[in-house]
Structure 1
């Protein structure tokens, strides 16, 4: 009996029936078999493997019925058909016991029916009979991979070993199969064997260099290893014209990890050009635009997402963020209220609400929201997942920042102590928060004590030791601090960070020649654009403090050429120009951009007020300087600036109050944070104002 004969007989029967296709085919098969001849009813098709030759006609008949029953079982959801399918396979095997095709088919049927144990048993028996049976190994591999997701702990580890062993065998049997190598590479990745995983992916790439799956798997491996730059390199190796939308999306995600939102946005745009309805790419683009400070473009993208998905809470939160950063506080609050009706308990939504209250200067409301978030996410046993720790760190860090703005140092310290308690890297961040809080409050003894505690707790953490070294040099223990910093040098490539830290310390100590030498060393080992940009920025700061303003401007402009949206550089150069009364329109645009990128930064608000003052726009100057003081009241320079605005607008008493506060802050500041020339200038202004007030009192003239 041949397959062509079965096909020619079936239609004649099907024309006279109204059965399901599978059922009709089953009758056709019975009709065909009727032409083969009668069977022994006592022993229908059983053939003794040792006494008879294989009866392939009978075997084929039952094999065909098995497939038909299987189709009916799937279409009708009937377990009795599944049982019949298995029985027919067994009858087929009785007729031809040595058939590899039938043995593999029965195992595969068990697998498709969810009878995993029997599938494994059938496949293992076949592998025992034929160690190179490809189908049996494929079945075992599929079973083990599928079972991985249902197991945990030691069971999962054992199952992973079995899966790897099967796919290693399959890779041996199919040395040029890309899919096998990809899956084996993925299994090695799950087993944290990145070397073997990369080897398999590269082997797959050698077979098919244009395979999308190969490139994506290599990028995923590098990302999971914590090497997003290698992921970018793997994806960028594919010419742009050959990249798929999935490759561009993965490239955008890798740039996200590298904190390069501009490149991320470009990659997401290319993905959207190929697949305009890809909402994931659109969300990635919106987030990248937000991070890059392209607020108008971010708003357009977010609104497009909401048009497609009006209930998208995440996009509404981001729209509120754009509105907040653009200073549209009422609209931002309204957007959050709308989102809250859809997801009242969304932590990110509530966190953004706290940020909005902070922007409005409504500190009790902001801290109230954050305290509720912390209470809702608190565990009595103090055990948190990494994601939970990350969330609590955000809440506590913002809470500490707001308390600092309110000059509530003990409350801020308490918040950062909770960060320390989170453990791991968060402990280091908590210590840094405590040090910064004490420094902002001019409590330098306490800051040094925390630095010492952190250095003792993390003796091998380079960054912690450098933090303590900075504190030592700032508080007059110069030799001890510099020695501690230099002790972190190992001769390895990561010494660049130590040389940068030494450069910063020496700049603050006004040892400019020595600082320049450290920056030269750091520059020589810088490879990435952001590394080189930071060295250039520090050199600009060095020249500014050394009063070599033209050289400073040149360095800052060089740094800006590599990233025109860096708020730190924009603010520093803009302020330096404004302070000298030069290029004021350009300085204004630079500082406004910095404020747009970081609207709560008191130093940027101070710079904005100062450039407005230099432009003669005293109302705007006063408004922004007040905002700066609300954010930080311990900066002598801000009080000096506001004093000058008051003097310029005829409010001498208010000016005196600000200059007196400035002198108080100067007296409490670190030597590195106050230029003696600036201190003398404020003292001169204060004395002059007091003299004028005294003369006015003698003459009886009214003075504001």
Structure 2
């Protein structure tokens, strides 16, 4: 009874093998040539064992049984004994080894087949897959060798399948890993020629350009797809690239289109919220970040952004509460703790702010002094903020000590550390110490043009005018056409502006403008021309220059504040002035000059309580500015606090007396003196009447 059962089973298996053969036929290209008499090729037996091999392979995969896997391999080998020249069998066995994780045997089997048939596509594909998978497991020299092997296989596949887009894309990616951008771009463009509508091709070109830092080309390749044909992925990539280019409005439009196509994509929501935040659309950004946190309550980063918006809006207690909520999700998050320090600073809790920032400095410290670029940047940010808070507390020595810790970081951090020391001493009207710090910087960095110009300006400000001018002029090359000359001309122009040598300043600005090519470079020239015109009381020209600068960067807080204050001080277009100054304060809430401007604009509109509140905050952050004391005097006189007004005008004149000549306009000093004299007379009359 056994024999018929075995025979029936064999028939069923043979039938399965025949079906498999019909699905994956051994074509004339890949099959072995007709067997010679001494090869003993038995095609029927080969099909039989091939069918069994597939059956055991399927059972091994579905049941996870290693014994089935072993049986599948044995059946492949029996099939190959029956038809030793079959490429299909050789490729199938190699593929099975790969599926079972027996990589060495898979490679050996595939390589044997390549030796027999150099143009066997399946064998090269398997080798390519093996090398690709192994790339992530290798390090150092081994990784480089594996990358070369993978590239060789896909180069061969590109030769064998020249019209296959996937092969071109993989080869381009491998070239990219090998830092061969030219070859990578060539492969991606070859893929684009094959399928010009492929989204994957466009995205691969986009990634290549972004990795090179060429964001303009990245935008161009994404924009090559018509707006109506763009997917959410394309629009998201566009938004991210516009972010890198600091074009928040374009980023906002791209993220919105991405969300129109994929409304539930939280990544697109985050991108949109961040772009809105960068564009100072705080209310809308807050709304979207709130939606993101509702969808993903564990998203600490979005909660930090919410706190940042609340801080900028002046909701300091809410900001602290939000950060406290996020803290369990990101205990050691540097940005979270830094934002907490900023809120403390805004609340005037200086000791808490300093303590938090010092902890960040300690947390980012390495005993060996070796830091990555990102770590250097973080430490510089923390130290700079510590120094600023000390300056707000009139703790000049402590501020200088913090700036000195930036110097060992090297590069621009060293330069900024020296500049910070000079600024701290200037805030405190310690001119001798400021000049000494500038001289030390110039000696330490003799080839740094900006440092030499800083020292030149300090010399000119403190009475060594000709020496300062000579040093600034020495930074201009004899050829007169080098890029660095632009900075020298503009630095010299700034010296002349402060010396009130208007014609000389205009000449140097023109020379600097001729060497300005980028929008950012032109922006600074327009800003300097605005200052020059303002100082000469040419207000229409000043406004025109400032608006040209704002057309380039509408979010530039310095220019927004300058133009807003200029309008407010003259009582011109006060509503517009308030909008500009408020935006500047939103962008930099701790800046004492912006707070003073905002208070002065409120004063001009008759909002005296708000005026006093903001100017008092400004005075808390810099008590050595004579203009702030003058403004407080105006407010106190207008609100009937004449004694306080006298005190503030006296303090204003004291600070003017301690100021540099460039910062003490004789007309301004005379006006304050006149207001003080009148106030003293009024106060004397009031005191006399009260005695009577």
What is the TM-score when the length of structure 1 is the normalising length?
A: 0.86
On the 8 A contact 1:469/1:484 being kept in 2, the answer is: no
Kindly indicate whether residue 594 of structure 2 is the aligned counterpart of residue 610 of structure 1. no
Kindly indicate whether residue 48 of structure 2 is the aligned counterpart of residue 58 of structure 1. no
Distance 1:299 1:576 in 2: 31
On the 8 A contact 1:473/1:482 being kept in 2, the answer is: no
Cross-structure match for 2:267: 280
Distance 2:478 2:287 in 1: 48
Change over 3 Å in CA distance of 1:113–1:412 after alignment to 2: farther
Cross-structure match for 1:43: none
Give 1:355-394 correspondences, 5 Å limit.
355-394=342-381
Give 1:173-192 correspondences, 5 Å limit.
173-192=160-179
Deviation at 1:362, TM superposition (A): 0.7
Change over 3 Å in CA distance of 1:582–1:393 after alignment to 2: same
- Over the aligned positions, Cα root-mean-square deviation in angstroms equals 3.2
Kindly indicate whether residue 610 of structure 2 is the aligned counterpart of residue 620 of structure 1. yes
Kindly indicate whether residue 182 of structure 2 is the aligned counterpart of residue 198 of structure 1. no
Cross-structure match for 1:581: 571
Match of 1:600 among 575, 590, 608: 590
Deviation at 1:671, TM superposition (A): 3.5
Distance 1:310 1:75 in 2: 39
Cross-structure match for 1:290: 277
Deviation at 1:284, TM superposition (A): 1.3
Cross-structure match for 2:497: 507
Distance 1:185 1:458 in 2: 44
Deviations 1:148-190 (CA, angstroms, capped at 9, x unpaired)? 2222222222222222233233333333332222222222222
Distance 1:33 1:190 in 2: 43
Give 1:645-656 correspondences, 5 Å limit.
645-656=635-646
Cross-structure match for 2:75: 88
Deviation at 1:470, TM superposition (A): 4.4
Kindly indicate whether residue 648 of structure 2 is the aligned counterpart of residue 661 of structure 1. no
Cross-structure match for 2:391: 404
Cross-structure match for 2:629: 639
Deviation at 1:600, TM superposition (A): 1.6
Q: Which moved more, 1:556-565 or 1:279-288?
A: 556-565
Deviation at 1:549, TM superposition (A): 0.7
Q: Which moved more, 1:615-624 or 1:604-613?
A: 615-624
Give 1:201-350 correspondences, 5 Å limit.
201-350=188-337
SS of 2:406's partner is helix
On the 8 A contact 1:462/1:488 being kept in 2, the answer is: no
Deviation at 1:196, TM superposition (A): 2.5
Change over 3 Å in CA distance of 1:126–1:608 after alignment to 2: same
Deviation at 1:496, TM superposition (A): 5.0
Distance 1:666 1:117 in 2: 83
Kindly indicate whether residue 409 of structure 2 is the aligned counterpart of residue 422 of structure 1. yes
Deviations 1:33-64 (CA, angstroms, capped at 9, x unpaired)? 799xxxxxxxxxxx999822432222222222
Q: Which moved more, 1:580-589 or 1:272-281?
A: 580-589
Cross-structure match for 2:25: none
Cross-structure match for 2:666: 676
Q: Which moved more, 1:650-659 or 1:324-333?
A: 650-659
Match of 2:151 among 164, 178, 185: 164
On the 8 A contact 2:17/2:51 being kept in 1, the answer is: no
Q: Which moved more, 1:139-148 or 1:685-694?
A: 685-694
On the 8 A contact 1:459/1:465 being kept in 2, the answer is: yes
Cross-structure match for 1:77: 64
Unpaired segments of 5 or more residues in structure 1?
1-12, 17-23, 36-46
Distance 2:15 2:431 in 1: 98
Distance 2:139 2:451 in 1: 37
Deviation at 1:599, TM superposition (A): 1.8
Deviation at 1:296, TM superposition (A): 0.6
SS of 1:547's partner is coil
Unpaired segments of 5 or more residues in structure 2?
20-33
Deviation at 1:327, TM superposition (A): 1.3
Distance 1:133 1:181 in 2: 18
SS of 1:486's partner is coil
Match of 1:555 among 537, 542, 545: 545
Distance 1:488 1:345 in 2: 53
Deviations 1:560-616 (CA, angstroms, capped at 9, x unpaired)? 445544332222111111111222232223222322232222111101111122223
Distance 1:177 1:473 in 2: 69
Deviation at 1:494, TM superposition (A): 7.0
Deviation at 1:254, TM superposition (A): 1.6
On the 8 A contact 1:628/1:638 being kept in 2, the answer is: yes
Kindly indicate whether residue 580 of structure 2 is the aligned counterpart of residue 590 of structure 1. yes
Distance 1:490 1:191 in 2: 42
Distance 1:102 1:702 in 2: 119
Distance 2:599 2:682 in 1: 26
Deviation at 1:530, TM superposition (A): 4.6
SS of 1:616's partner is coil
Distance 1:468 1:144 in 2: 59
Cross-structure match for 1:481: 471
Q: Which moved more, 1:568-577 or 1:501-510?
A: 501-510
Change over 3 Å in CA distance of 1:72–1:492 after alignment to 2: farther
Match of 2:13 among 19, 29, 35: 29
Give 1:434-445 correspondences, 5 Å limit.
434-445=421-432
Change over 3 Å in CA distance of 1:522–1:479 after alignment to 2: closer
What is the TM-score when the length of structure 2 is the normalising length?
A: 0.88
Distance 1:166 1:446 in 2: 67
